[in-house]
A and B are shown apart, each in its own frame.
Chain A
């Protein structure tokens, strides 16, 4: 234990110290190479200008390097792989893409992803907004918010395990331990294997992500709601608006930017949804999604790097426009700072 703490501290010291040493040293070196003192006036001005040109690159250099190695190189390599066969050796052109769009499972995944996109961000944002507004007015609002926020701290796999118990099905004659089946049988209905009902099982999986992400939407929207000037609401009260009109015509438009950011952030998350599907159904019963399909092709059954990479590229292309819009909105919210 002591040794672990020691090595942790050591790593922090070396890491932080290394960064400090790099920035300080690089800056010092720049001053030495292009001195601004002890030279003639014109040379000093020249050197200062050179310093100004070089210094930003020195400071953002390490970050750029790391970004290149860990983000840009993988993107390029994935693109390269998507044009090659399963071993990544022979160039096959667009064959992988042609395969993908003709593949039944791929098309099913696209359809399911679209379903997820249509339902989850909307549900999370809407529920988050409603909860944020309602909990603002009640004394136990903070407790309620904490409880709703809690699932955000649970990993997707952990959450899936919890919900597996909720959807659990036991064979005929056995006691139903899944709470959903317990409720259904308690009300006189028949138990079902919920996650194996094609089409509808998608929604049972979506509920898990909604359960996790509503807390996120709620927290962000709650703080945005607090930022609305109270006087604009009072002015609306004097103007004769009822609570419903105040909510839709005064409050929501004022936090529209935040709603958009929350919506798109969850949208991006949904496009990448993987863990829940893997844990709950592994894509069986028509519940496949792109990320899990990619994982299947990449790492299962010997692996097909070409097809796996192709699916990855498709996901990326789908994410990029939303990402760009998301960043624009976020920048607008903070006034570009």
Chain B
């Protein structure tokens, strides 16, 4: 049970600024995922929360108490490391019991807690084993067990699945989700660069880039209403198609035209001042479908097809300097390479970003709020 508050948290190594003033409020019991590309500062942010890195400036509160100078072991946190970080010379039991032994807790209590955690994680059989005699997935469970035994208020995960193979990763992901369900009051913060993990696990996702928070929201929020181009292209796979477009008519809905001559009307309000400006138009590959009627959004030649069985990724060249569009079509639709296809999308699924990459949708909301 703990809520976290970050106020203008900055972290620099000499002249290298890794975190540029992070503001974040995390409610008690939330599952928060930090996601972003390599070097965005997500791991550093997690490590500052853990106390493994000092905060250069700003304030970090856990349960209303400023913990900037509180040592990691006194913050009520537990951390699962990417490499598991098990003590290689200790048995599974001792790995899990180490923290409590250091704290000189009652032997019977240590035994009870370790065995309970082992029970939850199906490690009871392996308590006497050394980590090196276990598989990657089992080691991961021991690392989680060690964290559970600490009975933390805040559970931190640093890319815990990245060393597992694909099948095990899915299984462990589900285990972590179930673990969260069984510990509803425990706040969990999870770092990953994998957007699938972020989408499936998070109550709220924090998208980070270059030490800034790009957007915070529920997975569906980020997917449906990305605040900017970066989030739009980072969340969702394959990435959203983004095309430069010129605004022909601004207003409650916006008419744009593309380099290739295609035109579209997007039901997103834009201020009159953007008329004639170049903006970014976005549409997700999975929102595109083959047009049935006369009207269509884009027409172009099929450049390449990746058939995945259930779906196929169709790359369509729409000509004249626009980059090819990616469309995710059902796998059983007949599409041939070299033929011309006509693609359409629901107006509600279109996105529009201003020249700075900010979503017009969010600009409006920001204006309304102000």
Q: Which residues of B contact A161 (CB under 8 A)?
A: none
Q: In chain A, residues 206-247, which have Cβ atoms closer than 8 Å to a Cβ of chain B?
A: 229, 231-232, 234-241, 245
Q: Which DSSP category, helix, strand, loop or mixed, fits chain A's interface? A: helix
Name A173-218 residues within 8 Å CB distance of B.
Answer: none
Known: A241-B102, A245-B102. Is A236-B52 also a contact (CB below 8 A)? Answer: no
- Closest chain B residue to A253, Cβ basis: B89
Interface on A for B, CB 8 Å cutoff? 229, 231-232, 234-241, 245, 249-250, 253-254, 256
Q: Majority SS of interface residues in chain B? A: loop
User: B71-79, B166-174, B260-268: which lies at the A interface?
Assistant: B71-79
Contact residues in B for A256 (Cβ distance below 8 Å)? 89
Contact at B89–A229, with CB atoms within 8 Å? no
Cβ of A239 and Cβ of B88 under 8 Å apart? no
Contact of B99 among A229, A240, A253 (CB under 8 A): A240
Q: Which residues of A contact B87 (CB under 8 A)?
A: 232, 235-236, 250, 253-254
B85 close to chain A: CB less than 8 A: yes
Q: How large is the interface on B (under 10, 10 to 19, 20 to 34, 35 or more residues)?
A: 20 to 34
Contacts of A234 in B (CB 8 A): 52, 79, 81, 85
**B52, A237: Cβ atoms closer than 8 Å:** yes
**B28 contacts the other chain (Cβ, under 8 Å)?**
no
**B102 A239 Cβ-Cβ under 8 A:** yes
CB of B241 within 8 Å of the partner chain? no
Report which of B77, B82, B103 forms a contact with A238, defined as CB distance below 8 A: B77
Set of chain B residues within 8 Å of A237, measured between Cβ atoms = 52, 71-73
- Would you call B73 and A235 a contact (CB within 8 A)? no
Known: A232-B88, A254-B89, A256-B89. A239 touches B83 (CB 8 A): no
| Distance to closest chain B CB from A334 (angstroms) | 15
Residues from chain A with Cβ under 8 Å of B83 in the complex: 229, 231
Contacts of B71 in A (CB 8 A): 237
User: Are B79 and A235 in contact, CB atoms less than 8 angstroms apart?
Assistant: yes
A257 to chain B, nearest CB (A): 10
Most interface-central of A238, A245, A256 (chain B CB within 10 A) = A238
Structural contact, A231 and B99, CB atoms closer than 8 A: no
Complex Cα gap A254–B90 (Å): 10
* A231 surroundings in chain B (CB, below 8 A): 81-83, 85
Establish whether residues B52 and A239, one from each chain, have CB atoms under 8 Å apart when the complex forms: no
Other than the given A240-B103, A249-B98, 13 more pairs (CB < 8 A) read: A232-B85, A234-B52, A234-B79, A235-B85, A235-B87, A237-B52, A238-B99, A238-B150, A240-B102, A241-B73, A241-B102, A245-B102, A254-B89
